[in-house]
Amino acid sequence: MTSTVDADAAPAGRAARRRDRRKAEMIATALQILSSSGYQGMRFEDVAERTDIAKATLYHYFPSKDALVSAALEKLTADVLTSLRAALDTAADAPPAEQLRVLIAAQLHVLTVLYPEVGKLFSFPAPWPSEHSEAIKTMRRRHDRLFREVIDRGIDSGAFDCPDPAVALHCLHGILNHASIWLRPEADPDHRTRDAVVDESLRLFLHA
């Protein structure tokens, strides 16, 4: 016989899963709007409309626009770092050049498949509010640290010729962010164009 506790727990569990799915949808929608319109162009009303909920319901999940933006940035950071680390794990025993190649390809996958508009997210000239600026800096530092550790290993081993790793890393991200604007995975089913971008990007760090 099913106990009263079990009977009560099942609906509660379903309700929690529904709340989690709805919250995830709100965060995903917020990221889409941030990517296309920037922080200044993101409105609570737009998130509510696109997710087909009442604005009051949105406030139930997030008490303010900045709370939603913070959640969106945290989600973005977690997803990107998880994707990059998983890719790097597949090349854990490979030489630095192969590890960097894997990271660059994974970053392109993030920019063109996971979050196709993320390259634009931090390109808007309007400044981010101070409430988020430090979080964004931290996000960039954590992201760049993965690349920098591989680059430093390559330099130490003599595999890379890179007089200024910081400048080279900035140039790398510039290449990848720009490539994400025109590179379309559906038009590149065998990844030839993607692989060409990866190869050319890797030249920033290799001996001439």
List pLDDT tens digits, range 19-42. 889 999 999 999 888 877 878 888
Identity at 83, one-letter amino acid code? S
Which is more confidently placed, 146 or 129?
146
Summary mean pLDDT of the chain = 87
- In the structure encoding, which two tokens stand for residue 91, read together? 């090349």
Assess contact for 47 and 26: CB atoms under 8 A: yes
Residue 85 CA from chain centroid, whole number: 12
**Lowest-pLDDT choice from 22-26, 129-133, 146-150:** 129-133
Distance from C-alpha of 182 to C-alpha of 206, rounded to nearest angstrom? 25
> What pLDDT does residue 81 have?
92
* Residue type (1 letter), 160: F
Mean pLDDT over 116-120 rounds to 68
pTM of the model: 0.80
Judge whether residue 61 has pLDDT over 60. Answer: yes
User: Where does the pLDDT of residue 134 fall: very low under 50, low under 70, confident under 90, or very high at 90 and above?
Assistant: confident
Question: Residue 7: is its pLDDT beyond 60?
Answer: no
| Integer CA distances (angstroms), 41 to 16, 45, 70, in order | 31, 11, 16
Average pLDDT over residues 159-169: 94
**Phi and psi for 123 in degrees, rounded to 5?**
-100, -5
158 in Cβ contact with 145 (< 8 Å): no
